[in-house]
Amino acid sequence: MLISRDYSENLKKFHAIDGIKAIALYGIYILILFVQGFTYTTNLSVDILNKLQIAVPLFLLIIGITFIILSKDKLCNIGLNKTKLL
């Protein structure tokens, strides 16, 4: 649970550009998932749709990792650390 001191410390760490990056990443994810959902209303073959079930999540994972690498943040800065993963 966050207390006011933790919130204040976290607030000092992040800037407006971090919020913009988060909104951009969210927008990209929503757009890709919208396109994936739209493909099911088309006449694509079942084989292609099944392959998209593998390709789309991998593509989203690559986008997320690319955002992390380009922002040059450590994983602990974005909330991933050993204690939270366990």
Summarize pLDDT for 55-80 with one digit per residue, the tens. 888 988 888 888 877 777 666 666 66
Structural domain count, the chain: 1
Task: Please tell me the distance from the alpha carbon of residue 51 to that of residue 81, in angstroms, as a whole number.
Answer: 32
Percentage of residues of the chain with pLDDT beyond 90: 1
* Pick from 25, 32, 38, 30: nearest CA to 71: 25
Mean pLDDT score of the chain: 78
* In the predicted structure, residue 12 carries a pLDDT above the cut 60: yes
Mean pLDDT of 10-38: 82
Q: Which structural domain range is residue 50 located in?
A: 21-85
Residue 38 placed within a domain: yes
Residue 5 placed within a domain: no
- 85 pLDDT band, cuts 50/70/90, is low
pLDDT for 44 equals 83
